[in-house]
Structure formats: structure tokens, C-alpha cells
Structure 1
């Protein structure tokens, strides 16, 4: 009976022991599962937070790049709208392209068409963002493709409606190769396995900075659905999150490999920036901690099987070890993070002044080793200014809760590169001890961007001021002769019966017209020079003949002011090869200024000396000396700059554009010569120009044989001529008709190109001797009319001389006239003497004395 009772107790005890063991095991297992779940969630939260911080920096870098490009284009827009010419726009944008290194600049129209700086036109496929740019007036960034070029990223901002090279635009855009933006998304963490994408709400990849793991992905949502097994509901939810600009994270697996993905809005348009990295690499440190913890738990379970006491002791030890490992893991994680950011962190004990922690990136950012900083943190002051030491000492004395921050320029101690550092310091309590936390944030890139923006703004302000000064000067200088022309015209209406006054008024009217024409010519000359279109027309030139022509003009001007003008010439080779018009323009500008700035009764002297010569070349020195008002030493430094005039009461009374000497200097440079000036206020001015010309040996030899004097013409070469003229302006047509009739010629006027083509179709030999053709006309322009006359059925169209008479005076205009079939190009206003000289070149026989004869010409 006792044995049975004892047996029952034993069995009961064993059952209780087994039950207790089972309960204990169950409790341990449940606790283990709960712990493992906790660790998994902790690892997930820590890892995704880590990912989010790293990819946020890539997102911010991309946003800064986009914002910067939009910002500089907004600053360009006002200048483009107010630019004086397409050449100014081209020069400005070419300089900007060189400075900011974008691939192309486009002016974009409402329908997406574009024109580049070089005039190339095309279509820019901006998709749905085009309406956002043009209709909603919002800046955009979008992928696009231009034929024969790699895929590009387009940054565009809306502008006021404008025109470039005849192309109407409503927006401007710059482009980069996609690689430029992809580089801004690259991250150096995760051993090269991290991938960064910029995607649209439907998952399409806009920018791809992927690793080998994620290469070839074109749609993130499609990849998650097809490769990661996401359901349609999950894909829809993720697509809605992208569209709403939400921030989030998730994990997925592809072919047994787990990945973390974090995403967030790019803060512009509807882009989402997302990052993907393998779980195994992101969780490497945490996984080691997890495996260690599992080993510890296994040991605890084994020890519990032996004795509760050992379990408690072992458990306490493992708990302490666990805390130490967590601290080490966090410190390692923080160190890894700090290596990849541009912030140096220090923790200093306020009592001992010992640096207890310094992030290892201090060597990369400031060129100082972590060991040197831990030895004495004042070593940082060698990279800063004199106030650095006192600033750091004040940080150590701050109260908890107080924060100080300032900006300082530092010098990298190894490379010598300047760094712009933002310093933040505060006091924190760590386990009862006061610690000074210092953050040295490298803001060099942001600072350089700010300086670049300020420089661009300064350039824009200077351009605006230059435009304002130019318009002010031109308004004054153009209105002055215009006022004289209008005023004299009014006086002439009231004095029609006083011939002597009419003659006086006509002289003044001609002078004012020539002054106005000179101003316009100066502006056009400067425009051609700045655009690089000025060329030299090298031909045979007789130097004494050129000086004689100058003498006749300047002597008349000097005589009107009772000035003495002398010319001294000492040359051996009189015949050279050069641009006679440009040489006369240089000397005329200098001599005219001498006349204008020399008081009545003064002296002006032109001296030409042949300095040296070789078998084929000779060098001349042209000196213009006057005893006029002179110039200050300061103004002489700027005399050859456009629109510069000395600001004195005497000079301000003399009309001029301020372009003459700038044009003169440009022409002398083009001719390979030099120009210098010596002057003193009140003592006169001396200009010296040195030029070298090829010797015209043939003309020099021929000059030894004296030619018979030419018979002086007693009648105008235009006498008896019959002109067929195209002129759409009624007043200009009337003036042309009266000028020709005054010189014994007759003319028929057509109002446009079509009329003159129709009129010439019925022309017979002897009807007309020459055609004067305007260029810009309604219905049909003069170029097209000339082509039709030359190619028409009337055989006279192949031989009759056609002269362009137009206000288009540029070299390219003359080339277009000749390409269309015209024989010569004459600029308006009509110069009857120039017309006579031109007509003489085409005549073979002298004009008949009666009007019914036919003069013969050659082309």
C-alpha cells in the first residue's frame, strides 16, 4: 500500500515535473518567438530608417540640381526678352553654356517645336508636361529624345512670348545627358549593390542609377508584379502612394533574394525617388547581432536544463553582453553613416576637454586625422580663423539647452582647398556628465552655388544697365538731328519764297541727315564687329589718293571752324593692297574727333611716314596731332570701349554715339595693326596708328609712266538713261523719280516685285537700260523678282544690269543680292553720285546727246 502511495507520488511528481518542464519549454519557445519577432521588426525599422536617410540625401541632391537649373533660367528670361538682337542672345547663351556645361539650349513653342542657338529646328517630345509648361506656366523636367542624339533630360521654364531668328517661343529649355542626372542619384553605400530610381506614378523609370542586381528595370510596378509576386491590390495601393507623393517602405523577394525598398516624393512634378538594396547587405550588422542573440538564448535554454541558478547568472551576463554589443553595433552603424555624409561630429567632455568621439570623415573633409583631433581638438583651429579657439572654449561653457551656430571658412590641411563650414554646438547630458556635441557641416557646394547665382545676377544687372545707358545715349543722339530735320522742314514750309534762306536750310538739312546716317552706320558697324561678321575687302589702293580724299573732307570741316589743317606725307611706296574704305574710316574717325574737340582757330596735323619695308611688305605710321581740349588720364584707359565718352561740360556739348573709337580700334585690330593715344587735359591729343600692307609692285612700276589726264565729264552719266524701278514706298519712289529726272534720266516705278516681273515680260530692246530693284517689298521681294527676270522667257533678262537699291546694308545682304542675280548692291539713302559711278562701270559707250538713243552696257 505504501509502495503504491509512494509510486503515485513519484508518478505525480514526475508528471508535475514534465508538465513544469513542458510549461517552461513552452514559455521559453513562446518567449523566443516573441523575441525573434521583436528583433525582426527592430531590424526592419532600423534598416529602413537607415535606407531612408541615405536615399533622402540622393533625393535632396537631385532636387537641388533641378531647382538650380530652373533658377538660372528664370534669371536669364528677362535678359532674353530685352536683348537688342539675336546676336546678343546668342553671345549671352553661348557664354552661359560654357559656364554651366549643359548640352543644348532650346527656345520652345506652344506645340513643342524648338529652335537651338545655331538655328537648328526640331520637335521636343515633352509629353503631358508640355501643357504644364505652356498652359499652367510651371517649370518642368522631363525625359525627351532629339533625333541623332542620346536620350536627354530637359529642364524648361515658361517665359513671356518672344522671338529668336524668326521663331516664336513661349518657353526656354536646357538639356543634359541623362548620365549627368543619374550621377546625382548614385550612392556609395551598400558595396555597390544599392539602386536609385526616379519613377512616375505608373511606375515608369525616368532616371536609373541601378546596380547589377536591378539593371534593365524599366517599370518598378511591373517588376514587383511580375518578379516579386505582388497582387493587383498591392500594386494599386503603391501606385496611389506614388501619385499622392507619400513616403513609405516595403520589402520583397526576387529569386530567393530579399530586398528593402524606400520611396518618397521628389518635391517637383509627380516624380517619386525610391531606393532598393539587398536585405542581406543592409542588415549585415544587425544579422550578426541576431545570430549572436540566438546563440545566447540557446545557451540559456541549455543552462536552464541544468539549474535555475546558473540560468539566472548566465542570463544576467548575457544581458550585459547584449547591451555592449548593441552599443558597439550602433557606434559602428553611426561611423559607417558618418563616413558617407559631409558632417563631422565631435563629442567633447566639458570637464576634461577630452575628445571622446570624432567621426572618421574628418580627414576627408578637413584634412586632419581623427587621432590628431582626439589628442587636442584645437588642431581644428589651424584650418579656421583666429577666433576659432575662443569660439570652441565658449561652447564648452554653455548651459544645457543652449545652441550656438555660425559659418566659417576653413582650409583643407592636405590639399589647400577652401571649405565653407557651418558649425553647430550644444551641451548634452550623457549619464550625468556634460558633453559638448559639435557638428561641422561642409556647405562648400551650396556656398559655391550661391556665389554662382549671385554672379549670374550681377551679370544680368550689368547687362540691364548697359542696355539702359545705350538706349539713353541713342535716344539723345538720334533725336538731336531728327529735331533739326523736322524743325528745318517746318521753317522751309514758311519760307518758300526766300531762296537764300531755303539754300541755308537745305545745307543744314543735309548736315543733320548725314549726322543721323553716321549714327546709324556706327551702330550697325559695332553690331557687325561684335558678331564677328566684319571682313576686309582687300584691293589695289593708292595711298596719296586716299589721303587726298580725306584732305578734301577734313579741310572743309576745319575751315568752317577757322582751324589750320596740314598734311605731311613721307612715303616711298604709294601703291599697296588693302581695304581703302576701312583705312579712310579709321583716319576719318580720328580726324573728325580732332576737329570736334579742337576749339576755333586751333591746329590739326596729319602725318604719314613709311617706317620700314621689305621686298613684299611695307609699314606705315599715321599720326594725328591737335592742340584741342585733350583727355584725362583716367578716360584714356576706356577710350576704345563702346559707348564711352568723357563726362566734361565741353565734351557733353559735342554730339556722338561713343562708338567711333571702339570701331576704329576693332578695324585696326582686324587689319593686324596697332593704335595708341597720348593726351593731357587742355594740351591736345596725339593718335598713332601703325599698319602694314602688301606692296602693289605692278602699280608702282606702272606709275612711272605718266598717264594722260582724263577728260572731265560735262554731263551726268545718267543723262538719257531709262530706268525700270521697283520701290514700294511712295515717298521714296517720288524722291527717286525726281533725282533721276534732275540728272536727265527717265524711270518707270513698280510698287512690288510681281509688278516689275510682269512689266519686264513685255520689255523690248531699247525700252530700258537698267533696273533698280528694292529688296523688301510686299507680294514678292526683290530677290525672287530678280531670279524670275534672270530665268524668264524674255532674253533681255539675261543681260540687262540689275542694281539692288535697298536699306539692307550688311555683307550677307550683299551676298544674297549677288546670289539672286543682281550685278551690284547700293544702300539707301540714295546717293546719286554713287549711282553715277556704278552706272559708269556698266557703260561701254558714252551716253547719246539725245534721249531717243540706246546706250550699250556690259555685265
Structure 2
């Protein structure tokens, strides 16, 4: 079965033009939908990442505020214990100046429970705290609150009670330190989105504790006041946001301020009941998003092209290797089948079920049939010459009754076309479908040697049967010839034994016994 004897033609299916257009249209729509979904996915992902990044930045700032709070309250507790053991005013003044140099606070206050204060330099006044400081001091609780002092900017005051004493004649119930808003903002170091992020630390009711805004809204005392004056939020939306603040929830939303969209991110602070919130202009966020989206798209396109090129090259290489391997396997099979067919007593044929055109015939056909391969390929009817004489069996077409995957077998006697020798064949015909076409596969097995062997065995059986019959006849005759005189001998011997007294009878019986014995001998 080589390239000269066997050839399989592959036909490419040509699609109709409308079907091709429909396929391209569906493919284009699929790509468009995929790209659209991809951009949507990237936008949502980048938005979530931006909000997450902003939340993380403000969370870090909140941690810094907590550390600042814990550090200052720890200092106040330590200084309070030390002041209990320091009596001289000069010594107290030196101690506090050293503490101010170490901690970096703006002012140190000796406080009374009603809010009056006295500084180390002897200045007195009233510290207008937003919280009810007197009640908290009497309870012994630390106080962190905003305070207003005439001639100074808004302060953030840390105060601790349980420190009682007198300084320059002023009886105090607590000590406190104060920072300006700018000092607190500097410690928090909020520089997200190239410094364009604005942040606030507020109470749940909106009162501002720390203001880190652009200043375009002036001094902000209540965040809800900013929303009321500069945003398009409804009263219901503002109330819902206030409820979220009071519940200590963390969330993000889009809010319009002065005609510009801002991302508002908020979470509960670890310090008291404060809320840490941040504002970033949407354009700034989108600028980063668009840049990242474009970079991601370019990266994805490059990666897709690289992967596609890799897989295309891999497929081409794999197809080449597979085709080469198949070609090699076909050559090996052809060579193997050709060698095998030349050394077996079977002729193999494949022919078309409609035209009866021979597609393949094994090269040993001439040796077994006396008909060349070319004669069979030219006209399958040449096989009709194999029949010694025209009979009903020679005229019958056994193949037309065979269906796909069905098998049929029969025997026939043939005449070798070159030697004239009578031969016997057993034929197996199988229906099959190859490349969408029905084919007949025939295997013509030479059974001449079996036939001759069977004939020799039949003749041997007949000879054995004849010999067996002759032996049986001989034994039957011999048995009769021996049995007759033996019966007489036995009978007369019995009579002689019973008539032993009668000499005449015994002599007669012995004479007959002697006669039968001689006959037997």
C-alpha cells in the first residue's frame, strides 16, 4: 500500500458566502462584546483598587493619629506623676520646657475643672473646649478635644486629670498640651494622589476635629455644613450619611462638590468616636485609572499577541511533526503490509460500492490468482475468469447485499489463470465507509492446502474403516470356528464325567471328544 498503489484525496469544504459573512459578523460581535466587558471589568477593578488604596492611606493616617494620641496621653501621665514630686516653680518651668522640646507640642496648660488655664509663662485664660471637659475631668477620664483660644488658630488639646497641685498660686485639676491643626496634619502626612487628597477627622455629628482640606471652603467647623452648602446631596442622603457615621460604618461614595465629582471614603477612627474621611477629585482618580487601563490594555494586547504567536507557531510545528510522523507511519505500514501480504495466502481488495472501481489490491494477487494487479485495478470483472465453469454461483453478486459494518462469507473453487491448477478460496466481504463513501473490503484466503489435507484425511478414514470391517469379520469367523468344537468337547466331557461307570459310553464320548479336538486343531 504505497503512493503508487494507494492514494487518498482530501477535499476542502468550501463554505457559502452568506455563511462566511454570518460567521465573521458573529465573531466581530463576540470580540466587541468581549472588549466592552473587558473595559468595564478593568474600570471597575481600577476603581475598586483606587478606593482600596485611598482607604488604606487614610487607615494608615488614622493609625498615625492613634499613635500620636497614645504617645501624648502617655507623656501626660508620666509628666503628671513627675510634677507631683516637683515643688519649685523654676524646676517645674525647666521640666516642662524640656518636655515641650522632646514632644514638640505648642502649649502646656494647667487646667481647672471649669476650663480656666494657666501657662508656664504665667498667662491665664479660658480654654473653650468643644467637649464637656469638667464632667470628664471629675470622672477621671482623659480628654481629647478641639479648643478655641483668642488670637490663636484652632487647637487640638490632650488633657489628663488626677493631677492636682498649685502653680504660681493657680490651683489646677488637670494638665494639658495643645497642637495646632497644621501640626497634626503634618504628623499625619497625608500625601495620597500627589497631595491632591483632602481629609478630615470629624465627630459622628460632623464637627471637625482635624481639617486637612484645600482651604477653598474656608475654615471648616462641620463637615455636613460643607455638604449642605457645596454639594447636590439631598437632605435624605445627608441624613443617611450621618447615620452611617454614627453607626461607625466604613464605605465609599461619589459626591458632587461645587460642580466637581469627588470620591468620599470614610471609616471609624480608632480614637474615641471620631470618623476619618477623605475626598479625592474624580478626574484625578480617573487620570490614574485611564493611564493604568491604557497600560493594561497595551500589556494585554502584547501578551495576547505573544501567546497567539507562540501557540500558532507551536500548532504549526506540532502539525508538521504530526504530518511527518503520519507520513513515516504510513510508509512503515505500507512497507510492513506489502512484505506481509507477499508472505501470506490472503489477497486483500478494496473497491467502491457504487462504481466497483478498485481502490487497492495487494501485490500477492498475481501469485495466488494468476491475474496481475493492473488487470484487477482496470476491471474487477476479470475475477470472473477464476470460476472453472459458469454456474449460478459465478453469476451471483454477493456484495450488493452487504450493508455498512456488515460481514459476509462464502467459499468458491477457482482456476489459477497461469498454472491451470484448481484452487479453493474462502472470501470475507465487509461493508465500510471511508471519507464518507461506502466501500467493500474483500479478503480472499487460499484454502487449497486445507482442502487437499481434508481430502487426504477422508481417504485415510475410509481405509481405516475398511480395515476395521475386515478385522471384525475375521474375528467373528474365528470366534465361530473355535466356539463350535469347544462346545462339543465341553459337552461330551461333562457326559463322560456323569457316566464314569459305563465304560462303553465313556469310550464313545472320548472318541467324540478326540474327533472335536482334532477338528479344533
* TM-score, normalization by structure 2: 0.49
* TM-score, normalization by structure 1: 0.31
Relative CO higher for 1 or 2, CA cutoff 8 Å, sep ≥ 6? 2
- Larger-Rg structure: 2
